[in-house]
Amino acid sequence: MITIKRHEKFQLIIKFAGANKVAIGTLAGAILLTALVFFADFAEIETLVYLTAYLLASYPVLVQAGKNIFRGKIFDENFLMTIATLGAILIGEYPEAIAVMVFYRIGEFFEDYAIERSKSSLSQLLQLQPERAWLKRDSNWIEVVPAEVRKGSRLLIKPGEKIPLDGIVVAGNSFLNTAALTGEAKLQPIKRGSQVLSGSLNQENAFEIETTQDYADSTLTKILKLVTEASNKKTTTEKFITRFASKYTPLVVLGAIIIALVPLLFGAADSQEWFRRALVFLVIACPCALVLSVPLSYFSALGAAAKQQILVRGSDSLDKLSRIQTVAFDKTGTLTQGKFQIVKIETTAEFASEQILRFAATLERQSNHPLARSITLASQAAKQELLQRLICVKLPVRVLVGQ
């Protein structure tokens, strides 16, 4: 049986492959053409087949290198890969040129897939966002998109729905689940005059609010924007790597020129061999792995945190977390799940514990409170049949009475 997690991963792979079908197709074509040269007789058109395979494998790198040159950003990994592989072609080492580009492109695919997985985890946070709001217009409640609601509007929050915008309760009372925002599992009571935050889940009764913020300025919108933009903020480490690569790459090119030319000045006979060594030096000294791996590691970390419902303010916050020595937690909803269990029932001589549990479960059967759920679950585990004619009355002191 395929688990839900594996199914989601499979769906992500299919989506990624579909979005990159042209790139994957050209790369597969390059590999196939190169393999055919080894297993079939293409003596007359061997060079043409190799060049076709090279272009299929390298065209994104060549195009990007050309664009960067026109923008004045000459010395980057695309430039190094281009001159190294073109040099290999000039000395007739077609398979090596193709192999370098193929492996580089495969590495890019893995990088893009890792980023896509992180984006997928981040995008799951958007499910916190309500898709609709009930707006009062004249004397009617109409369904609208939350982004259309303005400050000062009147909204109806129905049981089981999330609050779309920050506001103040103007009518009604209820209990809110704010775990998605605060991690607190305990339900928060609200009444007229209470401040409520967008993203909170209404667990009990319908109530009305007057919005105090526009949609773009509401708490949940700001949180989601903060998380989704976190990967764009470079840390000190990333900035250093960028500066390092801008200085390092020209030195690599200079080193390759020295390797190719200096031996000839001292009478080296095999110029082609030194040219080959210069090209090898260019490829192995290319800083692309370093430049790509640092931001990718941060992005993957943000995605992994989002997958566990952990909101990290940005990459710089991850650096600060690595230096933390002591952590203080609150208990409920952090170290515990806020899910209660009945472990003991104190009884009197008049009632047995099974009767008390049955009465309590009957009274609490329609409540979503964590303590009420623990009572009903205990009754279900005992396979009790609840009373059908018990009338429940809620008193102002939050005591439930049945008769």
From the CB of residue 298, how many other CB atoms can be counted at a distance below 10 Å?
Answer: 24
217 tagged catalytic: no
Question: Is residue 118 within 8 Å of residue 230, measured between CB atoms?
Answer: no
From the CB of residue 71, how many other CB atoms can be counted at a distance below 10 Å?
Answer: 8
The count of C-alpha atoms lying within 13 angstroms of the C-alpha of 158, restricted to the half-sphere facing its C-beta, is: 9
- Cα separation of 201 and 183, whole Å? 13
Question: Is residue 302 within 8 Å of residue 122, measured between CB atoms?
Answer: yes
Question: Is residue 184 within 8 Å of residue 248, measured between CB atoms?
Answer: no
Of 76, 166, 214, 330, which one is the catalytic site residue? 330
User: Residue 305 corresponds to which tokens in the numbers above?
Assistant: 């945190």
Strand order in the sheet with 207-211: 140-144, 133-137, 154-157, 207-211, 167-171, 195-196
User: Residue 235 corresponds to which tokens in the numbers above?
Assistant: 């840390």
Question: Is residue 235 within 8 Å of residue 297, measured between CB atoms?
Answer: no
- Cα separation of 82 and 221, whole Å? 44
What are the catalytic residues? Answer: 330
